[in-house]
Structure 1
Amino acid sequence: MDEARADRDTPIVRRREMLSWPVALVCGSAVLTGCGTTRQASSAATSTPAPTREQAPEVPVTPPEDLMREHGVLKRVLLIYREGIRRISAGEQVPAQPLHAGAGIIRTFIEEYHEQLEERYVFPPLVKARKLTDIVSVLVRQHQRGRVLTGRILDATAHPTPRQARRDLVANMAAFIRMYEPHEAREDTVVFPAMREVISPKEFTEMAETFEDEEHRRFGAAGFTGIVGQVADIEKTLGIYDLNQFTPRL
């Protein structure tokens, strides 16, 4: 089965659909099985009700949380770039395939999806309210410069890299890291919190649904989780997946 058919045949259960389901459907077969014995034990259940745990509805992912966890994907690719820089600077072979895969995630998931959400849904309400306009203009310009750098990284890692191309690749990855670390930090601590000041609760809810729909439309049923899995595979290839290796020895 190809990926397109798999996406088409795989049902996507959205959070807002879960909230509207009857409890019996949410709880599944355990509830349905218990229905047959409920009437027989009704008197006993009335006098001494068994303790039950109420089925808690799933908490929706808010737009800022959604955007911040996508920043987590970006940060992990920046670590992949750092490992590439370390190896090239140490005279080792260019890990072209992992770097190319990482840049591909930046292109499709960050630049063509995440940043488009920001430019379409986050920045305009702020500009309309005349809030953070200076910051927004810089962020948009950095999005544009980032796409240029990503194009260079993709080109440089698509084929064997001569000596000069290696230096250019390191310079482009370093420039991308230097720009996006403060970029995402400013968005997480200033821009995303300000969204609540200019977007109504109703629009906030609608935005969350729009983000979720767009995520699954672009990346299938797995969505964000599938992208994280791809990043983890690249990290394993480079030997930087084990989180404990980054713990300093004191």
Structure 2
Amino acid sequence: MGGREATAMRRREMLGLSGAALAGSLTLTACGGSADGARAGAFSPAESSPAESSPAQAEVPVTPPEDLMREHGVLKRVLLIYREGIRRIGNGEQVPAQALNAGARIIRSFIEDYHEHLEEKYVFPPLKKAGKLTDTVPVLELQHQRGRVLTGRILDMTGASKTPGTGDRRDVVAAMAAFIRMYEPHEAREDTVVFPAFRDVVPPRRFLELGEIFEDEEHRRFGSSGFTGVVGQVADIEKTLGIYDLARFTPKV
């Protein structure tokens, strides 16, 4: 049995637990492991006996906020691609149209059509129903709409048939800069305010159900590689621009 199928079975088994047990398992997820550990099910020896050490028994389900926050990591990396494009255009270099278009296509398919769809369908409605973040959620929804407009402009101005002239260079920089300016505070507010509030208003059983829904939707849209495959696509774009090496961002002091 593959890893994804085993994870789905374990999630379904956990859905049969009592509410108290579910609450305890979610606390363990939030406090007991790293993002990598949550996927791999890594517990320290002190936390599990030999009888409990098999991967099938040790794995902790990935929670909806963890899924959404790691997807924000993909968004952040595309924002770095946009920043590199802005830097090159500002220096009078050739527009890296192919790389920028590829980044915008990831924003369109993975962030806007998938990630934001999950937020709009499953995260925002329970907050509205609970009367939480009534000033924040409408702004986030409007920003999703405006982001799609900006992405459309970037895609149009960096398409294969386009040779960006002076005006297009200026316009694509303006679109990318506006997108960056909006989405940096947007994702930060979701990570620090919206997702914790979402956890508070969703019952533990439903919380685990949503984790399974998010996982299934990810693989339905992006195949068996899912999130990992999208990260690989972003890394390929970074390599073409020479910004993949993490060490190059370390300042000299």
TM-score scaled by length of structure 1: 0.81
Q: After TM superposition, list the pairs within 5 Å mapping 1:228-239 onto structure 2.
A: 228-239=231-242
Q: What residue number does 1:15 align with?
A: 7
Q: Which has the larger radius of gyration?
A: 1
Q: Partners of 1:231 and 1:14 in 2: how far apart?
A: 28
Letter in 2 for 1:17: M
Asked if the contact 1:19/1:58 (under 8 Å) is kept, the reply is no
Instruction: Show the 5 A alignment for 1:155-234.
Output: 155-158=156-159, 159-234=162-237
TM-aligned CA distance change 1:207 to 1:166, over 3 Å: same
C-alpha change, 1:19 and 1:196, in structure 2 (3 Å) is: closer
* Deviations 1:24-83, CA, capped at 9 Å, x for gaps: xxxxxxxxxxxxxxxxxxxxxxxxxxx788214222110000000000000000000000
User: Matches of 1:14 and 1:133 in 2, distance apart?
Assistant: 39
Structure-2 change in CA distance of 1:18 and 1:175 (3 Å): same
**Match of 1:133, SS?**
coil
- Judge conservation of contact 1:80–1:102 (CA < 8 Å) in 2: yes
Gaps of 5+ in 1: 1-9, 22-50
Alignment of 1:1-250 (within 5 A): 12-17=4-9, 54-56=53-55, 57-158=58-159, 159-250=162-253
Q: In the TM superposition, what is the alpha-carbon distance from 1:197 to its structure 2 partner?
A: 1.4
Taking only the aligned residue pairs, the percentage that are identical comes to: 71
How many correspondences in the alignment?
212
Q: Deviations over 1:152-211 (max 9, x none)?
A: 000000021111000000000000000000000000000000112110000000000000
CA drift of 1:16 comes to 2.8
- TM-score (normalizing by structure 2): 0.80
1:247/1:11 Cα in 2 relative to 1: closer, same or farther (>3 Å)? Answer: closer
Letter in 2 for 1:236: K
Deviation at 1:19, TM superposition (A): 6.8
Secondary structure (helix, strand or coil) at the match of 1:13 reads helix
Q: CA RMSD in A?
A: 1.7
Contact 1:11 1:221 in 2 (8 A): no
Aligned partners of 2:11 and 2:208 also within 8 Å: no
Per-residue deviation, 1:109: 0.2
Over 3 Å counting, the alpha-carbon distance change for 1:248 and 1:118 in structure 2 is: same
Amino acid in structure 2 at the alignment position of 1:192? F
Structure 2 residue ranges without an equivalent (≥5): 14-49
3-state SS in 2 of match to 1:130: coil
